[in-house]
Amino acid sequence: MAEETPEQQPEQQPESQNTNNPKRDNPFRRKNFRGKYPRPQRKPESEFPSLEKVEELPATIFGEEAVAAEKQPQEQVPQQTQQVQTRPQQQQRQQPRQPQQPRQPREPREQREPREPQQKNSGGGITVSVVIPLLNEEESLRDLHEQLKNSLARVGGNYELIFVDDGSTDNSFKVLRELKSRNPRVKAIRFRRNYGKSAALQVGFQKALGEFVITMDADLQDDPAEISNLVRELRGGYDVVSGWKKKRKDPLGKTIPSKFFNFVTGKVTGISIHDFNCGLKGYRNEVVKSVNVYGELHRYIPALAHWLGFRVGETVVNHRPRKYGKTKFGMARYSRGFLDLLTVVFTTRYVSRPLHLFGGWGILSALSGFGISAWLAYEKYVNGQPLSNRPLFMVALIMIILGVQFVSMGLLGELITKNQQLEKEYSIREEL
């Protein structure tokens, strides 16, 4: 016992000193472990030097079955691995394999027929779309809706009614809301202001999904019973069928100017149609998607379609007297119609060859001026007639100047057309 006491005293002294010292040594500091626990030296190679030498890998990364398999001879390893397999795998292996059918040789790429893309019918199988522009026609809309339902029921197939309110100031759109609630096939579009019949038709054409598109007015003068005749003509091969109001129920102030207008339009456009102003017309869907209607060109849609290569026909339709309201067109529409006719002719026939239009008139004017000047020169130098009192000489000079200007305008138009380098649009009927 006497020998143990001196050895315990040195150990108790540091503890007393440490208690007095406010900064206590951390027993886990590196200096306390230095010398007692030397740092293990790292190997330069990685932990797993090679996957090919399986004996160098630690056994912990394998399962217990693999560790036991290493202790047994290599011949018994496949048996144990088979026992480790799950039951579904064993059942799959026990099932006899069915003999595989021999593969058929694939056809060469050149001999394969290209598959036609499946065209989705976005219209949901709609047969007829009726586009009806209107302006302040609240009194006739309900009757028109009922007549259209009865007429389209005889045509068969699904249909849609597209009403385009061209800025009405009465309760026309309120009536359309009522019709929409009763018939889900009714569609209504309302403009913020009056844009005109051409704009209403253009918007209706964009919304139309039917195979055949019928246009008609909302004033009940166009008979909905004629829709079946228009559809029959379209199915017969025509792309556009225009109605002909052979017996018009209008006053002479409208019928006589209309006949003169239709005669001139038919001669200029080259289409033998008796009534361009009839609102009851039938189109195939590809026609209304191809033409661009703006301004007052709605009455010239058959001419636009004809110049695009579509077949245009005509059929006699029933015309009824106006029942409600008053007409929205006056005599001014004929003057605007002739100006629109010039627009149609120029934009369809001469938009890609302006020199043919301006150059023709320019050559005619210049040749006339030169002819008159030659005759006046003959009178002066042969017969001795003075030119100072001959106003015909000034007319000849003016005609020559106008001819040169017309030809110059045509050449400038040709330069503009050639330098635009726009992709030319062609009307394609079919593509394989």
- Integer Cα distance of 359 and 367 in angstroms: 12
pLDDT attached to residue 310 = 92
Say if strands 212-215 and 281-284 run parallel, antiparallel, or are unpaired: antiparallel
E-assigned strands of 90-237? 126-134, 158-165, 186-190, 212-215
Q: Which residues pair with 189 in a beta bridge?
A: 164
> What Rg do the C-alpha atoms of the chain give, in angstroms?
47
Tens of pLDDT, residue by residue over 272-327, are: 888 888 889 999 999 999 998 887 788 889 988 988 889 999 999 998 888 776 76
Cβ count within 10 A of residue 350:
16
- Integer Cα distance of 81 and 65 in angstroms: 8
Tens of pLDDT, residue by residue over 58-87, are: 555 555 555 555 555 544 444 444 444 444
- Integer Cα distance of 313 and 215 in angstroms: 15
pLDDT attached to residue 15 = 46
Which tokens is 247 given?
Answer: 């017996």
Say if strands 126-134 and 186-190 run parallel, antiparallel, or are unpaired: unpaired
Do the Cβ atoms of 209 and 129 come closer than 8 Å? yes
Q: State the DSSP string of 304-318.
A: HHHHTT--EEEEE--
Single out the residue of 108, 103, 114, 166 nearest to residue 137, CA to CA. 166
Tens of pLDDT, residue by residue over 323-335, are: 776 766 656 666 6
CA distances from 203 to 40, 52, 132, 190, 288 (A): 85, 75, 11, 10, 10
- CA angle 339–343–348, rounded 5-degree value: 150
Contacts by residues 267-270 (CB-CB < 8 Å, ≥ 24 positions apart): 268/341, 268/345, 269/300, 269/303, 269/306, 269/341, 269/344, 269/345, 270/306
Which tokens is 90 given?
Answer: 């064993």
pLDDT attached to residue 240 = 95
136 or 423, which is more confident: 136
Tens of pLDDT, residue by residue over 209-228, are: 999 999 999 989 999 999 99
Tens of pLDDT, residue by residue over 17-37, are: 444 555 566 666 655 555 555
241 or 99, which is more confident: 241
Second-level CATH architecture of 126-349 = Alpha-Beta Complex (3.90)
Q: At what angle do helices 77-84 and 64-71 cross, to 10 degrees?
A: 160
Do the Cβ atoms of 329 and 251 come closer than 8 Å? no
pLDDT band at 354 (very low <50, low <70, confident <90, very high): confident
Do the Cβ atoms of 345 and 307 come closer than 8 Å? no
Tens of pLDDT, residue by residue over 169-206, are: 999 999 999 999 999 999 999 998 888 898 999 999 99
Q: Which residues pair with 242 in a beta bridge?
A: 281, 314
